[in-house]
Amino acid sequence: MAVIAVLVIILVSTCWYTVDDKEQAVLTTFGKVTGIHDAGIHFKLPFGIQIAHKVQSNVYQKIEIGYRSDEINSASFVTVENESKMITGDYNIVNVDFFVEYKISDPVKYLYSSREPEFVLKNLVQSQIRNVIGSSDVDDILTTGKTEIQNRVIELVTDELETYEIGLILTDIKIQDAEPPTEDVIVAFKAVETAKQGAETVINEAKAYMNAQLPLAKSEADKLIQNAEYLKQKRINEATEQIAMFTAMYDEYALNPEITQIRMYYEAIQQALPGVRLYIDASDGSGTQKLLPLESFN
């Protein structure tokens, strides 16, 4: 009875297994893959006929290149120079640390396509990192070209993973730190970066001043244009009025030239000598008119 009870316990304990929400289980029957199971309770044949191999397929995992962080104190890390030290495309030496994030995309390929898929992925990432760094300038690596470098590495590694089929997918690569290998070069690059930031600040201030002054200048220009248009129209109106007056005066002159001449003469005298009291004498019959002022012109 005791033996039977032990056999029953072994049988029951080996007939089922559980998979949590972070895992997937690859079920093999006599060593051959016969199924992939997600989270939950699942049954299998006992006595090793079927074996469930669990993998962390729903967990983002990391690889550190160029450094190793302390598991106890996350703020502390150790530099690994043989991984971080690289040569750039313009023949400079830099120390670059990378944080690599990945996850399992195919549990079957992860278990059976390679002996150590994480090791393969790390070497593949390091190879492509050195490839990209080796074709980039040191200024881009230390300053503004980090995002482009990261995207290029991700693109190259993703293409290679499709060829190797190790069951892993790359989700992200970040440059943790990038600096020259010596303190003097670090100081020089920091000075260059400070100068670039100062130049950008001056450019932004100039653009802000331009944006503030440009509307004022446009407003003043519009004002001048409108004033010029007003003066132009005023001159046209005055010329049109003078033409109309001249035409009307000519029409009256054509009706009676002598009277119109005398009236125009008197109007001209009135405009030339405003406010002056005088007599016009034309009594001698010579046709010459004499102006006899009775008061001072002043």
* Of 125 and 277, the one with more pLDDT: 125
Choosing from 181, 216, 235, the residue where a domain stops is: 181
Shared domain check, 144 and 33: no
One-character DSSP codes across 7-71: HHHHHHHTSEEEE-TT-EEEEEETTEEEEEE-SEEEE--TTTTEEEEEE-TTS-EEEEESEEE-S
Helix (H) or strand (E) holding 292: strand 290-293
Shared domain check, 82 and 28: no
Q: How far apart are CA 38 and CA 13, in angstroms?
A: 20
Shared domain check, 216 and 127: no
Helix (H) or strand (E) holding 257: helix 257-272
Q: Is 291 contained in some domain?
A: no
Per-residue pLDDT tens over the stretch 110-125: 999 888 999 999 999 9
Shared domain check, 217 and 171: no
Shared domain check, 193 and 160: no
Q: How far apart are CA 284 and CA 89, in angstroms?
A: 115
Shared domain check, 188 and 169: no
Q: How far apart are CA 238 and CA 234, in angstroms?
A: 6
Shared domain check, 129 and 232: no
Q: pTM higher than 0.75 for the full model?
A: no
Q: How far apart are CA 81 and CA 68, in angstroms?
A: 11
Shared domain check, 190 and 93: no
Shared domain check, 98 and 48: no
Choosing from 55, 71, 94, the residue where a domain stops is: 55
For residue 285, the model assigns a pLDDT of: 60
Choosing from 55, 78, 98, the residue where a domain stops is: 55
Structure tokens at 287: 């046709």
Query: Which contacts qualify for 189-195: CB closer than 8 Å, 24 or more apart?
Result: 189/142, 189/143, 192/139, 192/143, 193/142, 193/143
Q: Is 275 contained in some domain?
A: no
Task: Please state, for a pLDDT cut of 90, what percent of the chain lies above it.
Answer: 39
Residue 125 one-letter amino acid: V
Shared domain check, 95 and 177: yes
Is 54's pLDDT higher than 80? yes
Give the range of the structural domain holding residue 205, as residue numbers without chain letter: 182-255
Residue 29 φ/ψ, nearest 5 degrees: -120, 115
For residue 280, the model assigns a pLDDT of: 65
Per-residue pLDDT tens over the stretch 152-209: 999 999 999 988 889 999 999 999 888 876 666 667 767 777 888 889 899 999 999 8
Q: Is 298 contained in some domain?
A: no
- Burial of residue 176 (CB within 10 Å: 0-12, 13-18, 19+) is middle
